[in-house]
Amino acid sequence: MEARHLRYAVALAEHAHFGRAATALGIAQPPLSKQIAALEREVGARLFDRTRRGVFPTAAGAAFLVRARAALAEIGAASVDAARAARGESGRLRLGFIASALLDPLPGVLRRFSRERPGVRLELHEMASSRSSAALAGGELDVAVTLGRPRGIGAERLVSVPVGHDHLVAVVGSGHPYAGLRSVAVAQLLHQPLILASGEDEPAVAAGLRDLLGEGSPALASATVARDVHTVIGLAACGVGVGLGPSRMLAAPRPGTWFCEVTPRTPLPDLVLSFSPEDRSPVLDAFLDVVRANCPVVGAALDRRLGPRSEAAG
Amino acid sequence: MEARHLRYAVALAEHAHFGRAATALGIAQPPLSKQIAALEREVGARLFDRTRRGVFPTAAGAAFLVRARAALAEIGAASVDAARAARGESGRLRLGFIASALLDPLPGVLRRFSRERPGVRLELHEMASSRSSAALAGGELDVAVTLGRPRGIGAERLVSVPVGHDHLVAVVGSGHPYAGLRSVAVAQLLHQPLILASGEDEPAVAAGLRDLLGEGSPALASATVARDVHTVIGLAACGVGVGLGPSRMLAAPRPGTWFCEVTPRTPLPDLVLSFSPEDRSPVLDAFLDVVRANCPVVGAALDRRLGPRSEAAG
DNA sequence: GGCGCGCGATACCCCCTGGGTATCGTCGGC
DNA sequence: GCCGACGATACCCAGGGGGTATCGCGCGCC
């Protein structure tokens, strides 16, 4: 049985007349008679009663038509759904990211992406950079934002572009003596209670501080350790001490906090956007477009890695 | 787009290999490649990624396949449902009947029919005979059991067969003086409180009694009137008086009641089964089969009206 | 590193079948 | 009783679905 048979049966039921149904289908009446006869032969039951007053479905025909209409609706939806998916207007995007990425590149990108692609389900997974890399290589994520380039098995197959440069900055509550300062020197941190994110989540901050303050520094040893940079800012705002984190923090100002540069300027690893070029999908391309639009420097780097924009532009 | 394209796409997704999918479909590989290419052209999107390790659906392909499988399931169900309906194994039967028919022919018929055709929904409508006839002629019922042959517009197009002959009998409670009698004479009814069904529902009983007792008989004038014959029996069982109704009542004995013949024997109109021969359906045929099997006399009458059994015997 | 092989795409051909025209059978209605 | 409407049938044609042969291209294996 072919979709043609369903279309013909539905048209015949709607017009209750072979000639008019055939005209509506764009064919002549005899082929329609033949196809309906063939359909009835295949089903093994008469589907239409040919009376003088019109052509009406039998009980079997009525049962058939219910399914036929449903099948035709599914067939139509198949094309539509596939085309939508091909244009990246539906589907899902699984994004792994380190918590601090929520400070700077992600808010704008996610807001814009979900506005431009309301049909795409965003699955956001906050996780450590190492887990993001592994999940990306294993196909469990579509795109990841990590600290530094991904390493580990499969990482060499990933495309990675830096999303921006970072250096170490300090954050204090408004009532803190350092509030209002443009910058603080490393020496000013030595006898302050320090707050920084834990090793796994933001390992670079702790490493940078070790470089600045010395390996066994008491200030570092007694530092308050938070799970992620958001908590660091929150604790600093409460006056617990001097928070230390990536300069990305400046992009998300929060009332009651004050940010100062740390001198000497201490670079931190870049935030990096990665994905598997083999698993590119229209949704991923759409996401990359949004990233391009939000951070022009990323666009140039992407073009260098993928060629000047895919032809599947929506 | 034809069902063939859906079948091919599903097979290709299942085998992840053009050659094996083609073999499973019973065709060669090149036609499958062509059909998939044509499908992708029509949808306007690549549906499968051809990699060295196999053929996998793209995001668009995955969306397409969901709909394709659903459509194919509907198409398969269309045939099955139609065949079932053609065999009278599904659908509905709308039966109109007079209340007293529940005493005799209907219990056995309905029990047997619902056992033989569990997929058919029985719609039972108790109504006066005149309404049944009109509903049958108007296409609102498939079959009706009425008192006497249907009359009124459209009734001449109906096929009607008597389901059995009836005459007037009396029913009393076990404690009644008549309990235990084989028969009662008309004279014995003259000074008894009588119970009979109301005019609309069982008009023949009242008419028969008028013939027996005389037009202005005080016994008739003071008779208790119930809506239907079931109530008559119930009231008689309570000792309210002598119930009068069709001999069909004998078929549904009820504890605490006693039935006696009324002499002289007074025939009542037959219970008649009617349907529209133009609207015959497999379900109706199946119902008529059950009626035949339950009441052999009806079978002969039906055969006389319709020919010796339809060829669509299930 | 070259050859072989597995796989999908392409080229080309055939014939099946879907659709066309012409016509018939039949049943109502005027 | 004739005509007209409608579905079925007969017959023909051509488009396309499916066949075989072959190519292009990686990958893997000596």
Q: Which pLDDT does position B239 carry in this prediction? A: 85
Decide: B196 and B226 in contact? Cβ < 8 Å: yes
> Residue B309 above 50 pLDDT?
no
Decide: A108 and A163 in contact? Cβ < 8 Å: no
Distance CA A45, CA A9 (A): 13
Cα B38 to Cα B3, B8, B35, B44, B48, distances in angstroms:
13, 11, 5, 10, 13
Domains in chain B with CATH codes: 3-86 (1.10.10.10), 92-163+270-306 (3.40.190.10), 166-268 (3.40.190.10)
Report CB contact under 8 Å: B62, A47. Answer: no
> Residue A92 above 80 pLDDT?
yes
> Residue A228 above 80 pLDDT?
yes
Distance CA A23, CA A20 (A): 5
Pair of tokens at residue B262: 């009324």
**Which residues face A162 on adjacent strands?**
A272
Decide: B211 and B204 in contact? Cβ < 8 Å: no
Q: Which amino acid is at A201?
A: D
Pair of tokens at residue B221: 């004038």
Chain-centroid distance, C-alpha B97 = 10
- The stretch A58-85 carries a mean pLDDT of 94
- Of chain B, the percentage scoring pLDDT greater than 70 comes to 95
- The stretch B290-296 carries a mean pLDDT of 86
H/E stretch holding B94 = strand B91-97
Residue of A nearest to B60 (CA): A82
Label residue A216 by pLDDT band (50, 70, 90). Answer: confident
Pair of tokens at residue A126: 């906050």
CA distance B110 to chain A (A): 21
Decide: B196 and B202 in contact? Cβ < 8 Å: yes
Q: Which nucleotide's C1' atom has the smallest distance to the CA of A34?
A: D8
Per residue in A103-123, pLDDT tens?
888 998 999 999 999 999 999
Distance CA A70, CA A72 (A): 5
Check residues 90 to 149 of chain A and report those whose beta carbon is under 7 Å from nucleic acid strand D: none
Place of tokens 């390992």: A203
Q: What value does the mean pLDDT of chain B take?
A: 87
A201 versus B237: the higher-pLDDT residue is B237
- Which of A30-39, A146-155, A300-309 shows the highest mean pLDDT? A30-39
Q: Which pLDDT does position B260 carry in this prediction? A: 92
Least Cα distance to A192 among A164, A217, A159 occurs for: A217
Distance CA A246, CA A202 (A): 9
Decide: A9 and A66 in contact? Cβ < 8 Å: no
Distance CA B38, CA B47 (A): 11
Residue of B nearest to A66 (CA): B78
Q: Which pLDDT does position A200 carry in this prediction? A: 62
- Using the structure, give the distance in angstroms from the CA atom of A37 to the C1' atom of D9, rounded to a whole number: 12
Report CB contact under 8 Å: A63, B81. Answer: yes
Q: What angle do CA B277, B281, B93 make, to 5 degrees?
A: 105
Q: Which pLDDT does position B215 carry in this prediction? A: 75
- The stretch A29-40 carries a mean pLDDT of 93
Distance CA A283, CA A85 (A): 8
Q: Is A28 helix (H, G, I), strand (E, B) or coil?
A: coil
- Using the structure, give the distance in angstroms from the CA atom of B33 to the C1' atom of D19, rounded to a whole number: 13
Q: Which pLDDT does position A9 carry in this prediction? A: 95
Report CB contact under 8 Å: B90, A3. Answer: no
DSSP B120-156: EEEEEEE--HHHHHHHHHTTS-SEEEEESS--STTGG
**With contacts defined as CB-CB under 8 Å, which chain A residues touch B72?**
71
> Residue B310 above 60 pLDDT?
no
Burial (CB < 10 A; 0-12, 13-18, 19+), residue B217, is: middle
> Residue A7 above 60 pLDDT?
yes
CA distance A74 to chain B (A): 5
> Residue A310 above 60 pLDDT?
no
B151 versus A6: the higher-pLDDT residue is A6
Per residue in B176-194, pLDDT tens?
888 888 989 888 888 888 8
Chain-centroid distance, C-alpha A1 = 41
Check residues 130 to 149 of chain B and report those whose beta carbon is under 7 Å from nucleic acid strand D: none
Q: Which nucleotide's C1' atom has the smallest distance to the CA of A22?
A: C19
**With contacts defined as CB-CB under 8 Å, which chain B residues touch A2?**
2-4
Residues of B with CB under 8 A from a CB of A: 1-4, 6, 42-47, 58-64, 66-68, 70-72, 74-75, 77-79, 81-86, 90-91, 281-283
Per residue in B88-106, pLDDT tens?
899 999 999 998 898 888 9
Smallest Cβ–Cβ distance between B75 and the set A1, A83, A84 belongs to A1
Decide: B87 and A61 in contact? Cβ < 8 Å: no
Give the contacts of B50 (CB within 8 A, at least 6 positions apart): none
> Residue A246 above 60 pLDDT?
yes
> Residue A169 above 70 pLDDT?
yes
* Greatest Cα pair distance in chain B: 103
Q: Which pLDDT does position A308 carry in this prediction? A: 45
> Residue B34 above 90 pLDDT?
yes
Report CB contact under 8 Å: B86, A2. Answer: no
Check residues 36 to 95 of chain B and report those whose beta carbon is under 7 Å from nucleic acid strand D: 38, 52
- Of chain B, the percentage scoring pLDDT greater than 90 comes to 45
CA distance B246 to chain A (A): 37
Least Cα distance to B271 among B127, B133, B122, B145 occurs for: B145
**With contacts defined as CB-CB under 8 Å, which chain B residues touch A56?**
none
> Residue B312 above 50 pLDDT?
no
Is any atom of nucleic acid chain D found less than 7 Å from the CB of residue A14? no
Main-chain phi, psi angles of A147, to 5 degrees: -90, 115
- Of chain A, the percentage scoring pLDDT greater than 90 comes to 42
Q: Is A90 helix (H, G, I), strand (E, B) or coil?
A: coil
CA distance A71 to chain B (A): 4
Main-chain phi, psi angles of B59, to 5 degrees: -60, -45
Report CB contact under 8 Å: B1, A79. Answer: yes
Q: Of A99-113, B28-42, B55-69, B299-313, which gets the smallest average pLDDT?
A: B299-313
> Residue A73 above 60 pLDDT?
yes
Question: In chain A, at which residue ranges do the beta strands (DSSP E only) sit?
Answer: 48-51, 54-57, 91-97, 120-126, 143-147, 159-173, 183-185, 194-197, 224-226, 242-246, 257-263, 267-275
Distance CA A126, CA A202 (A): 13
Report CA Rg, chain A.
31
Q: What value does the mean pLDDT of chain A take?
A: 86
Smallest Cβ–Cβ distance between B63 and the set A1, A43, A90 belongs to A90
> Residue B307 above 60 pLDDT?
no
Label residue A267 by pLDDT band (50, 70, 90). Answer: confident
Within 7 Å of a protein beta carbon, the nucleotides of strand D are: 6-11, 17-22, 26-27
Q: Which pLDDT does position A209 carry in this prediction? A: 74
- Of chain A, the percentage scoring pLDDT greater than 70 comes to 95
Distance CA A258, CA A273 (A): 29
Q: Of A22-36, A51-65, A223-237, B117-131, which gets the smallest average pLDDT?
A: A223-237
Distance CA A300, CA B6 (A): 41
Q: Which pLDDT does position A201 carry in this prediction? A: 61
Count A/B contacts: CB-CB distance under 8 Å.
138
Select from A4, A81, A89, A93 the residue whose CB has the most chain B CBs within 10 Å, as the one to mutate to test that interface. A81
Per residue in B49-87, pLDDT tens?
998 888 999 999 999 999 999 999 999 999 999 999 999
Least Cα distance to B185 among B103, B256, B233, B242 occurs for: B242
> Residue B158 above 70 pLDDT?
yes
Pair of tokens at residue A31: 């082929």
Q: Which pLDDT does position A24 carry in this prediction? A: 92
- The stretch B291-298 carries a mean pLDDT of 83
B266 versus A63: the higher-pLDDT residue is A63
Quick one: angle between helices B282-294 and A59-86, nearest 10?
A: 140
- Using the structure, give the distance in angstroms from the CA atom of B137 to the C1' atom of D23, rounded to a whole number: 72
Distance CA B312, CA B289 (A): 11
